[in-house]
Amino acid sequence: MKILLTLFRVCTFCFFAISIACPSLLSASNSWKAGTARVIITPQDSLWMAGYAHRTHAGNGKLHDLWAKALFLEDAEGQQGVLITVDLVGIPKQISDNIRERLHERLKLTTAQIIINTSHTHSGPVLQNALFDIYPLDSTQLIRIKQYSLEFEKLIVDLVEKAKLALEPAELYSKNGVTRFQVNRRNNKEAEIDLLSELNGPNDFAVPVIKIVNPQGELISIVFGYACHPTVLDINKWSGDYPGFAQIELEQKYPGVTALFFQGAGADQNPMPRRSIALAKQFGKTLAVAVERVLEEEMQALDSKMTTAYSEVDLTIKPYSKRKLQKYVKNLSAYQLRWAMRMMSKVNQGDDLITTYPYPIQLWKLGDQAIWCLAGETVVGYAIGLKKMFGPDTFVMGYCNDIMSYIPTKKIIKEGGYEGLIAQRVYGLPGPWDLSIESVIFEEAKNLANTHGLKLLQELNGQ
Q: What is the pLDDT of residues 32-46, one digit of tens each?
A: 999 999 999 999 988
pLDDT at 12: 42
The confidence band for 1, taking pLDDT boundaries of 50, 70 and 90, is very low
What domain range is 105 assigned to?
Answer: 30-309+360-404
Under 8 Å between Cβ of 259 and 221:
yes
Query: What string of DSSP letters covers 168-187?
Result: EEEEEEEEEEE---EEETTS
Instruction: Determine what percent of the chain is predicted with pLDDT higher than 70.
Output: 92
Residue 134 in any domain: the answer is yes
d(CA 92, CA 277): 28
Write out the H or E segment, with its range, that includes residue 406: strand 406-407
**CA-to-CA separations, 77 to 29, 109, 110, 235, 269, in angstroms, rounded:** 9, 15, 16, 48, 39
Give 17's pLDDT tier (boundaries 50, 70, 90).
very low
Per-residue pLDDT reduced to its tens digit, 217-230: 999 999 999 999 99
Q: Looking at per-residue confidence, does 176 or 54 come out higher? A: 176
Which CA distances in Å does 358 have to 56, 91, 118, 178, 437? 34, 15, 19, 33, 12
- 198 within a domain of the structure (yes/no): yes
pLDDT in tens, 376-402: 999 999 999 999 999 999 999 999 999
User: How far is Cα 388 from Cα 457, in angstroms, rounded to an integer?
Assistant: 7
Q: Report whether 18 contacts 25 (CB < 8 A).
A: yes
Report the alpha-carbon distance of residue 357 to residue 300 in Å, rounded. Answer: 37
Q: Tell me the DSSP string of 244-286.
A: HHHHHHHHHHSTT-EEEEEE-S-TTEEESS-SSHHHHHHHHHH
- Within 8 A by CB and 6+ apart from 109, the residues are 80, 81, 82, 100, 103, 160
Residue 366 bridge partners (DSSP): 306, 369
In this predicted structure, what is the pLDDT of residue 130? 85
- How many domains does the chain contain in total? 1
**What confidence score (pLDDT) does residue 463 get?**
52
Whether the pLDDT of residue 8 is over 50: the answer is: no
pLDDT at 135: 87
Looking at residue 159, what is its pLDDT? 98
Residue 122 counted as domain residue: yes
Average pLDDT, the chain: 92
Interior/surface letters 277-305, b for 16+ CB within 10 angstroms, e for the rest: eebbbbbbbbbbbbbbebbeeebeebbbe
The model scores a pTM over 0.85: yes
d(CA 218, CA 211) in angstroms, rounded, equals: 10
**Do 301 and 367 meet the contact criterion of CB atoms below 8 Å apart?**
yes
Give the pLDDT score at 55. 86
CA 319 to CA 150: how far, in whole Å?
A: 32
pLDDT higher at 225 or 459: 225
Structure confidence by residue, pLDDT tens digits, 179-206: 999 999 999 999 999 999 999 999 999 9
What residues form DSSP beta bridges with 397? 373
Q: Note whether residue 2 is domain-resident.
A: no
- Average the pLDDT over 143-160 and give the result: 97
According to the model, what pLDDT value does residue 461 have?
60
Please say whether the dihedral angle defined by the alpha carbons of residues 194, 199, 202 and 205, taken in this order, is positive or negative.
positive
C-alpha span between 377 and 132 (Å, rounded): 17
* Residue 346 pLDDT grade (very low, low, confident, very high; cuts 50, 70, 90): very high
- pLDDT score at 457: 80
User: Is 279 within the bounds of a domain?
Assistant: yes
Q: Is residue 137 part of a domain?
A: yes
pLDDT number for residue 95: 97
Q: In this predicted structure, what is the pLDDT of residue 60?
A: 86
- Give the pLDDT of residue 20: 41
Is 391 inside a domain boundary?
yes
pLDDT band (50, 70, 90) for residue 125 = very high
Kindly compute the dihedral angle of the four CA atoms of residues 374, 258, 219, 109, in this order, to the nearest 10 degrees. 50
Give 232: exposed, middle or buried? Use CB within 10 Å, 0-12, 13-18, 19+.
Answer: buried
For residues 137-149, average pLDDT: 93
Given a cut of 50, whether residue 24 has pLDDT beyond it is no
Domain contains 349: no
The rounded percent of the chain whose pLDDT value lies above 90 is 86
φ, ψ of residue 10 to 5 degrees: the values are: -65, -45
